[in-house]
Structure 1
Amino acid sequence: MATLDIALLKSFVAVARAGSIRAAADRVGRTQSALSLQMKKLEDIAGAPLLHRTGSGVTLTVAGERLIGGAERILAAHDETLALMRPRGLRGALSFGCPEDYLTAFFPALLRRYGQDHPDVEIEIVCAPTVELRPMLARRRIDLALISVPGAAAGVDILRHEPLVWIGAPALLEAQPLPLALAGPETVDHRMARAVLDAAGRAYRVTHASNGLAGLLAIARSGLAISVVTGAAVPADLCVLSDGLPPLPRIGMTVTCASPRPTPVVRAFGDFVAAALRSD
């Protein structure tokens, strides 16, 4: 009877998440040829191709999609059992997605504290806006993510609320129409900023765009447009504009795992982030 080897399943999950054998090889510390041989061996066991190989990487076949869920459940049970047998603290690796403004505002201290308590946990940080993190979670390219949701989102465990604020040069408040620098149109902050200006009847135009915090801050510093960021991410050298513009709503923050059965390492880090943000 054919059996599924833990090492093969770990490599398969790494390839599926990375979207290419080259990227997965860098992540797991193997050569591309060794990883390719592992995938061939696993396909022989499965009796069907698991990966579509293209010039830009790999995607899962129908058989690969069937295997990925079971592989993650097996690995989660394996890691949990191993942790019970060897209670020497958490050990393993995870990939964590986070928008740049949250990463800048909250995580230097949180990661330092977590690293001191759990030195054997390796954390890969993927910095991207929520609209990019959601499909990464759906495809299991990352293990978990801190994402933004509307402040009044129903059925969501909101860890904390953060206000959105206008930042930029006060002189721009007199401009008609108001020049704006916003993140992409799919983002929560973009939609909320336009909604409150439309409701107030204030003329505006989006003159600059950036999905990264650094870009929005740079545009605000240039004096060319007014940006929208979370209050916690405003640096000391930029002004929060509270007069002359309609107030912005708050957004919620929540931790979401890619798998319904995360590994003990992933679950522990998610619990740590949730507890830290709730109490901060």
Structure 2
Amino acid sequence: YMASLLSPVLRRFSTLYPHVEIEIVCAQSVALGPMLADNKIDLAFVTRDCKLRGEFVRAEEMVWVGSATDPAPLAMSPLPVGLYEHGSVARAHTVAALDAAHIRYRAAYSSASLMGLLATVEAGIAIVALTRCSVPPRFAMLGEAHGLPKIEPLEIVVARSVKSNRPTCDYLAQQMVQDLSVPRQRG
């Protein structure tokens, strides 16, 4: 979420607090949760799961992504799918959607890295499910018209460590919630 959502918040924060050092840790939510629990980081903008709670910010739609120039994976059986690492909510939602739709698929690639998953799409060897905010314009968004099921959205939260009770942390968390919130959709 760093590149697509947090840049304006960080820009404003650094203007107001120019002498505060921010260490940015870009990692999957499954890695950030233990870092919060161990007080190694103060705040995390993460996907909510059963172990990782926080203040709700937004629901992020999951979409299927394929190569804009090579639709070959869509014709393959079983469907080659690139998945986030085991333990991630995005992976669980993707697999649940495929299973519920009775689509034969194979976990062709697995990566904790968005860039790793995008490389499989770029190569035309798999499709992946990503948050809409993470899809580069050069890729094709796929959906029900392509025989693919809807995927449950991800709930994005701001989670805090127990030692993050400082004014600068309060401000940054408040700005994340305020600037990045979108109303929950009822479904």
Q: Output the TM-score relative to the length of structure 1.
A: 0.59
- Give the % identical residues: 35
Q: d(CA) in 1 for partners of 2:75 and 2:64?
A: 14
Specify the SS of the correspondent of 1:127.
Answer: coil
Instruction: Identify which range, 141-150 or 125-134, moves more after superposition.
Output: 141-150
Gaps of 5+ in 2: none
Q: d(CA) in 2 for partners of 1:113 and 1:261?
A: 19
Higher helix share: 1
Q: Encode CA deviations 1:149-169: one digit per residue, 9 max, x unaligned.
A: 26xxxx853111110111113
Q: How many residues align?
A: 177
Aligned 1:1-280 pairs, distance under 5 A: 102-149=1-48, 157-169=55-67, 170-242=71-143, 243=145, 244-259=147-162, 262-278=165-181
Shift of the alpha carbon at 1:108? 2.3
Q: d(CA) in 1 for partners of 2:14 and 2:159?
A: 21
Q: Encode CA deviations 1:171-199: one digit per residue, 9 max, x unaligned.
A: 32111000011111200010111101111
Specify the SS of the correspondent of 1:134.
Answer: helix
Distance 1:261 1:141, change over 3 A: closer
Q: d(CA) in 2 for partners of 1:196 and 1:270?
A: 32
Q: d(CA) in 2 for partners of 1:108 and 1:271?
A: 15
Specify the SS of the correspondent of 2:151.
Answer: coil
Q: Kindly indicate whether the alpha-carbon contact (under 8 Å) linking 2:66 and 2:124 is maintained by their aligned counterparts in 1.
A: yes
Greater relative contact order (Cα < 8 A, sep 6+): 2
Gaps of 5+ in 1: 1-101
Shift of the alpha carbon at 1:261? 5.7
Higher strand share: 2
Specify the SS of the correspondent of 2:178.
Answer: helix
Q: Encode CA deviations 1:130-154: one digit per residue, 9 max, x unaligned.
A: 100010111111111111026xxxx
Shift of the alpha carbon at 1:118? 2.2
Q: d(CA) in 2 for partners of 1:142 and 1:157?
A: 16
Higher Rg of the two aligned structures: 1
Amino acid at match of 1:255: V
RMSD (CA atoms): 2.1
Q: Output the TM-score relative to the length of structure 2.
A: 0.88
Instruction: Identify which range, 102-111 or 191-200, moves more after superposition.
Output: 102-111
Q: d(CA) in 2 for partners of 1:256 and 1:112?
A: 20
Aligned counterpart, 1:75: none
Amino acid at match of 1:104: A
